[in-house]
Structure 1
Amino acid sequence: MTKKSAYQLTQSQKMMVFILSMSLYGLSNMFTELIPSVQLGVIELSVEYFAFIPLTLCILFHPLYAAVGAALGEIIFGELMLGQFGGIGEIEKFITFSLGMYIAGILVRNPLNRLQVGIAVMSGLIVHHLLGTIVDMGKVWVGIEELEAVEGLAQSVLIVEGVAFFNDLLFSGILFALLPTLYLVPRLYGKIEPLLGMKPRDNKVQYSLNELITPRLVVIGVVLAAIAIVTEFMAESDINIGVWEPDFLETFGDAFIWIVIGVAAIIAIFTIGIMLNKSKNKKNVRDVSNVG
């Protein structure tokens, strides 16, 4: 029987994963800003995210650091640097996205198992979108937000939010999260980690679902979801703190997006360069030791 041991990274490696996830996902968010949406009747098809980037990093490297890094990258590059930061209301998006990506990452024991990867990805996406849907429905039911639906028909909120939920899950979720992740994870596993100076996760170590979804994780998840709901309700009730909207795009034009893209790209390239350099130094040290 294979002895179970936690996948370990050094603190500097965790920080590299965090920065890489932050910059790459932040960079991808800039490109989604440039892709127009398509309206098909009441359904709007739009590219919300390229979630395969944090999902791949969560599965191959470290779920927590990759998930939080990606969520922070969206805030920094997709909102703060574009002058679109919504204050305390952004906490809800940060928590729900981080939680969804983290859950997807910890559910994968064997990155070479596409079925396992697919189930994990869809589970993480469902958590992310479902929490957001619950928050949106709650704002309507509490009365802090109006719903553009059938007047006087309470059930219409379920229909509208339900359609939006499945639209996000089945369109962006499958095309820009599930399919690319299913392709990338098995192909990159065992190849990209050594290049970046890290060991691949042990795909022979097996954990039961009870060991992965612990009571502690459930409690933390519930608490974070509650915080997300409360902060979003506060933001919609005019108790919004930390709003920062200097209108960079209106001042400098849409070309300003390319400046933000450049900054994110430089950080990503710089981070990858550091990781490759550390990997090369480790290899040189091992070669010298072997010769000696």
Structure 2
Amino acid sequence: MSVNTTYQLTQSQKMMVFVLSMSLYGLSNMFTELIPSVQLGVIELSVEYFAFIPLTLCILFHPLYAAIGASLGEIIFGELMLGQFGGIGELEKFITFSLGMFIAGILVRNPLNRKQIIIAVFTGLLVHHLLGTMIDIGKVWVGVEEFEAVPGLAESIVVIEGVALLNDLLFSGVLFALLPTLYLVPRLYGKIEPLLGMKPRDRQVEYSIFQIVTPKLVAVSILLSAIAILSEFLSETEWAFGEWEPEFLGIFGEWFIWIPIGIATIVVLITIQVMRSKSKKNLKGNENLG
């Protein structure tokens, strides 16, 4: 049995998952802007993102729509509304993050199986961060970006990026991705879906890893990775375009961040209310039929 036949949502439900993921993760990204980083020698400990939000939604609901929604939410609420949009270079982050979250979501067959959740979370984060690390190293080696931590030794970027990768996986990855996801998924599974008018994923269905990681998925992943690499390389050249940093942000000051936070919060509340309203209508319809 293929993955597509194990869990089905209507087009309306998919869109609701998309909007919910977009607004929730976008809202969380703005809050990370308010959290200061801690410098320990050459290592900077910072809260890069609250990845447990898209991970939980990808595992419980529809991996594709939740993953893309989260990535778009980061761009809209965490970049555009804050005046930090990096143009074509943002495509790299969009692709690698969406790909990582999607893979994490499809790797979990049983949301109550903690072992599957652990493997899925670290696999998804590794896909996202490793692709980003390889792209950053490639930019220096190819020469589109200048960065030599040790003068005259471009290979030093490998050490710097390697340390950053471990920090992302072992610090942010454990504290703000793995542990919250391990706590939330088993407790929300089977409880939150009916409240939002959806059925839980069928955890009784068994299928092999080869039915999940198909040749088509591998081919699409390679293609998307190539596009991500190209877009990031272009962002460092004269062909870069789409960067946006409005001047009005300097006029309003740091308090301006609360405006997009408020907008994202309203979108979240409206989305949840619409999903609950649809759930109540479905329940009434089933009662009338009964």
TM-score by length of 1: 0.96
Partners of 2:6 and 2:202 within 8 A in 1: no
Gaps of 5+ in 1: none
Q: Secondary structure at the match of 1:136?
A: helix
1:259 and 2:256 matched: no
| CA apart distance, 1:148 | 4.1
Aligned AA (2:167): N
Gaps of 5+ in 2: none
**Cα RMSD, aligned residues only:** 1.4
Aligned AA (1:239): W
Partners of 1:82 and 1:248 within 8 A in 2: no
Q: Secondary structure at the match of 2:82?
A: coil
Please identify, of 248-257 and 274-283, the stretch whose mean Cα deviation from structure 2 is larger: 248-257
| CA apart distance, 1:146 | 1.7
Fraction of identical pairs, as percent = 72
Partners of 2:187 and 2:236 lie apart in 1 by 44
Partners of 2:155 and 2:41 lie apart in 1 by 20
Partners of 2:153 and 2:49 lie apart in 1 by 32
| CA apart distance, 1:248 | 4.2
> How do 1:159-238 residues align onto structure 2 when only pairs under 5 Å count?
159-238=159-238
| CA apart distance, 1:6 | 2.8
Once the two structures are superposed, residues 123-167 of structure 1 have per-residue CA deviations (whole angstroms, 9 ceiling, x without a partner) of: 000000000000000000011112241112343121111001111
Partners of 1:216 and 1:107 lie apart in 2 by 15
TM-score by length of 2: 0.97
Partner of 2:79: 79
Once the two structures are superposed, residues 174-210 of structure 1 have per-residue CA deviations (whole angstroms, 9 ceiling, x without a partner) of: 1000100000000000000000000000000011010
Partners of 2:27 and 2:140 lie apart in 1 by 33
Partners of 1:58 and 1:102 within 8 A in 2: yes
Q: Secondary structure at the match of 1:34?
A: coil
Partner of 2:44: 44
Q: Secondary structure at the match of 2:39?
A: strand
Q: Secondary structure at the match of 1:39?
A: strand
Partner of 1:5: 5
Partners of 1:195 and 1:10 lie apart in 2 by 16
Aligned AA (1:130): L
Partners of 2:148 and 2:156 within 8 A in 1: no
Q: How many residues align?
A: 289
Please identify, of 93-102 and 4-13, the stretch whose mean Cα deviation from structure 2 is larger: 4-13
Partners of 1:154 and 1:88 lie apart in 2 by 25
Q: Secondary structure at the match of 2:44?
A: strand
